[in-house]
Amino acid sequence: MSMGIKNKSKAKKYVVKKGGVFWPSPEMKKIANMADPKIYEKAAKNPIKFWEDLAWNGLTWEKKWDKGYVEHFPYFEWFKGGQINFSVNCIDRHLDHGDRTALIWVPEPTNEKPIKVTYRELYDKVNKFANVLKSEGVKKGDVVSIYLPMVPEAAVAMLACARIGAIHSVVFSAFSADALRARIIGGEAKILITSDGYFRRGKPEPLLAKAKKAAKRTTVKRIIVVNRIGKRVWGRRYLDFNKALEKAEAYCEPEIMKSEDPLFILYTSGTTGKPKGVVHDTGGYAIQAYQTSKWNFNLNPGDVMWCTADVGWITGHTYAFYGPFLTGATSLIYEGGPDYPNSGRWWKIIQDHDVNVFYTAPTAVRMFMKVDPKWINQYDLSSIKILGTVGEPIDKESWMWYFRMIGGSRCPVIDTWWQTETGGTLINVLPGIGPFVPTVSGRSFPGLTHVIVDDKGKPMPTGRQGFLAQKSPFAPGMLHGVWKNPEKYVKTYWSNFKNMYDTSDGAYLVNGLIRITGRTDDVMKVAGHRLATAELENAIHDNKKVGDVAVVPMPHDVKGQVPIAFVVLKKGDGSEKLENELKKHVDKKIGPTARPGKIFFVKDLPKTRSGKIMRRILKALLVKEKPEGLMTLVNPESVEEIKTIIER
Ligand code: WTA
């Protein structure tokens, strides 16, 4: 079987093998924006000055800051007194080369042509749409809800918000009406931007009905609709996105923002049942997005980056849109399913558009490992220079498959660790520096420090697993609060370790590099999507028949994890009908991404004397391990019963 790329002769080699691991080749070092291994030491000498220099050289400021970094733990400000507009940094400053492509949009239907949007065109659209928002009464500091699939209008809407200083709150289009509604209410949004639908696996998937339902009896006054699947929309409450845009004034003066002003909120799951609105500022986030795009992905004008994440997630915000735009590069986005009309679609897109940087999740890699390699081998992937992964730990086999089959054994695989809360990547190897080691994320980005500690915050010896924590000065891209919930900000992130940020991830050191082992709290990653077990438990609890419920993740060979629910009914026995009813309700409350793989009806859940459900025991039973800690249970007999039910 021929491994990797079709057109080997033309392809450059960006890695070399030395001592059993991969390093950047001379060619990679030559093209790398950062190839100096001493950068870490240099940055560590004065991290604040380091970031100040990067921010001053990398971004366009309206006014320089008075102080680079001010910290009153757990609050900190980067570039205090600095003034900036984010959309100017993403667009206006690239207008000297306005004919460069900012965005390539690949629609799912193969009979529709991809669309290229130049920086000049993006500028025109963003200015006009910013004026539309203004005429709708949106002001600096207002929250605008965006519920859009992967269409160019998503970028236009987000950048238009940034232009006028409005705060966007993007909601994943596969989330349910209930989930959207909660986020609209949280932000008190007056405007909701959505589409009539989108194409998924060959069919138009309606979206507007969900949006309408979500906006009922909320603060939303206007729903701006992108016409994608040709549904007629009428009524005084609605506005057609592109028609309104065409009629708007051509120029909108950018609102001058403080570096510390919020740019966006993005709701994410934590340990409790209610998602929290992570707040990101403007200047700090901008430099994190810019610099990581420069150094991790080596983005320069002319490079095409395809980040496959949906804009509803942080990865979509930072690397499908903002990182490529800030660096003046080209972002490719794709509307549809990865295997439509066949499993060659993604690889054909890479070939057709000469994608240079490809960034995806391990779950996608595992999915393609299962398909016939002919779907990959028939395409020329020689344009790729850098591969990236994000979202969950990647196992060695998947890493090697990705390296060989997609990268043709020529390209570094950059395993980036980060979170919604961190705004941009924080831990990974830089392509110009290396080494590239399967399953290892790497080092903290220059100018940042992470430590691996025990539960008291004491450093762990090399090789021993502990909690991953970040030390001051905190990364410029870090969250600046939890929307309308300051207590949660302090309690969730800053209370577990003294003067450190708690990532809620486990990790250990391998040869000075960080290997991430996964979440230490009740957050799951299901096909790359971040979900809390508590959210699912709340949804299942809505059903009056349910007395008690526990949800735990079970390992899955493609999705990484799937949620499994254990339900105790108030009376009577469970049935397939009830199982389906509960699953449907999860779809309604959160979205189909959260649907439990299986619901077990049990008589009792293992609990401690204080009534705490021992999810750890349920997890062990699911993977057929011997559960530990049975001594602490008030009802050890429940374990045998559950074991029998699972085995059945
Ligand atoms: C996990 C996604 C291992 C981690 C950007 C983190 C990873 C959570 C990696 C955040 C990686 C992310 N290796 N685990 N390279 N990257 N994670 O907020 O558990 O959707 O806490 O942000 O994903 O998920 P979120």
Supply the CATH number for residue 290's domain.
Answer: 3.40.50.12780
Asked if 327 and 399 sit in the same domain, the reply is yes
The pLDDT of residue 479 is above 70: yes
Q: Give, for ligand 1, the residue of 530, 531, 533, 559 to mutate: max count of ligand atoms closer than 8 Å to Cβ.
A: 530
Among the listed residues 124, 162, 529, the one whose alpha carbon sits nearest the alpha carbon of residue 322: 162
- The pLDDT assigned to 2 comes to 42
Q: Are 62 and 85 in contact (CB under 8 A)?
A: yes
- Are 390 and 315 in contact by the 8 Å Cβ rule? The answer is yes
- Bridge partners of residue 144, in order along the sequence: 168, 191
**pLDDT surpasses 80 at 10:** no
Residues 376 and 497 in one domain: yes
Does position 644 have pLDDT exceeding 60, yes or no? Answer: yes
Residue 175 to residue 85: CA distance in whole angstroms: 30
One domain, residues 332 and 454: yes
Residues 395, 511, single domain; the answer is yes
Assess whether the C-beta atom of 560 lies below 6 angstroms from ligand 1.
no
In a domain, 3, yes or no: no
Is the distance from the beta carbon of residue 424 to the nearest atom of ligand 1 less than 6 Å?
Answer: no
375: which residues sit within 8 A by CB, 6+ positions away?
342, 343, 344, 347, 368
Residue to mutate, 419, 444, 529, ligand 1, most ligand atoms under 8 Å from C-beta: 419
- Angle at the Cα of 293 (from 31 to 430), degrees rounded to 5? 60
Distance 392 CA to ligand 1 centre (A): 5
Helix (H, G, I), strand (E, B) or coil at 114: coil
Q: For residue 332, give the H/E element and its range.
A: strand 330-334
Q: Residues 620, 491: one domain?
A: no
End-to-end distance of the chain based on CA atoms, in angstroms?
41
Ranges of beta strands (E only) in 378-499 are: 386-390, 413-416, 427-428, 443-444, 450-453, 466-471
Q: What is the mean pLDDT of residues 398-420?
A: 98
Of the three residues 517, 547, 570, the one that is the final residue of a domain is: 517
Same domain, 288 and 419: yes
232 and 278 belong to one structural domain: no
Distance 315 CA to ligand 1 centre (A): 10
473 prior amide bond cis, ω within 30: yes
**Interval 18-53: pLDDT, tens:** 988 999 999 999 999 999 999 999 999 999 999 999
Judgement on whether residues 240 and 282 belong to the same structural domain of the protein: no
**pLDDT > 90? residue 8:** no
Q: Tell me which of 479, 497, 517 is where a domain ends.
A: 517
Q: Which residue has the tokens 């100018």?
A: 447
Ligand 1 in reach of 518 Cβ (< 6 A): yes
Asked if the structure places residue 159 within a domain, the reply is: yes
For ligand 1, say whether the CB of 318 is within 6 Å of any of its atoms: no
Angle at 56 between CA 54 and CA 62, to 5 degrees: 150
Question: Average pLDDT for residues 194-221, to the nearest whole number?
Answer: 97
Average pLDDT, the chain: 96
Distance 93 CA to ligand 1 centre (A): 32
- Assess whether the C-beta atom of 228 lies below 6 angstroms from ligand 1: no
Q: Following DSSP, what letter does each residue of 546-561 receive, concatenated? A: EEEEEEEEEEETTTEE
In a domain, 2, yes or no: no
> Is 40 part of any domain?
yes
Q: Residue 606 falls within a domain, yes or no? A: yes
Report the nearest-CA residue for atom 10 of ligand 1: 419
pLDDT at position 125 over 60: yes
Q: How far is the CA of 420 from the centre of ligand 1 (A)?
A: 8
The 10s digit of each residue's pLDDT in 129-148 is: 999 999 999 999 999 999 99
Centre a 10 Å sphere on the Cβ of residue 124 and count the other Cβ atoms it contains.
18
Which residue's CA is the nearest one to ligand 1's atom 8?
A: 419
Q: Give the confidence band of 3 by pLDDT, cuts at 50, 70, 90.
A: very low
Find tokens 């065109």 and name the residue: 121
Q: How far is the CA of 448 from the centre of ligand 1 (A)?
A: 17
CATH of the domain at 605: 3.30.300.30
- Over the Cα atoms of the chain, what is R_g? 24
Q: Which atom of ligand 1 is nearest to the CA of 529?
A: 20
Question: Does residue 315 have its Cβ closer than 6 Å to ligand 1?
Answer: yes
For residues 69 and 101, membership in a common domain is answered with no
Domain end point (choices 517, 538, 557): 517
**391 CA → ligand 1 middle, Å:** 4
Ligand 1 center to 66 CA (angstroms): 34
Provide the residue range defining the domain that includes 316.
8-85+260-517
Full strand arrangement of the beta sheet holding 598-601:
546-556, 560-569, 598-601
Does 136 share its domain with 225?
A: yes
For the Cβ of 522 lying below 6 angstroms from any atom of ligand 1, the answer is no
In DSSP terms, 72 is beta-bridged to 75
**Does residue 348 fall inside a structural domain?**
yes
If asked whether residues 171 and 144 sit together in one domain, one would say yes
Total residues found in the chain within this entry: 648
Structural domain contains residue 1:
no
- Number of domains the chain is built from: 3
- The dihedral through the CA atoms of 183, 184, 189, 194 has a sign that is positive
Residue 187 Cβ < 6 Å to ligand 1: no
Q: Are residues 53 and 36 in the same domain?
A: yes
Any ligand 1 atom below 6 A from CB of 317: no
For the stretch 155-168, pLDDT in tens is 999 999 999 999 99
Q: Whose CA is nearest to atom 5 of ligand 1?
A: 419
Q: Residue 5 has what pLDDT?
A: 52
Residue 80 located in a structural domain: yes
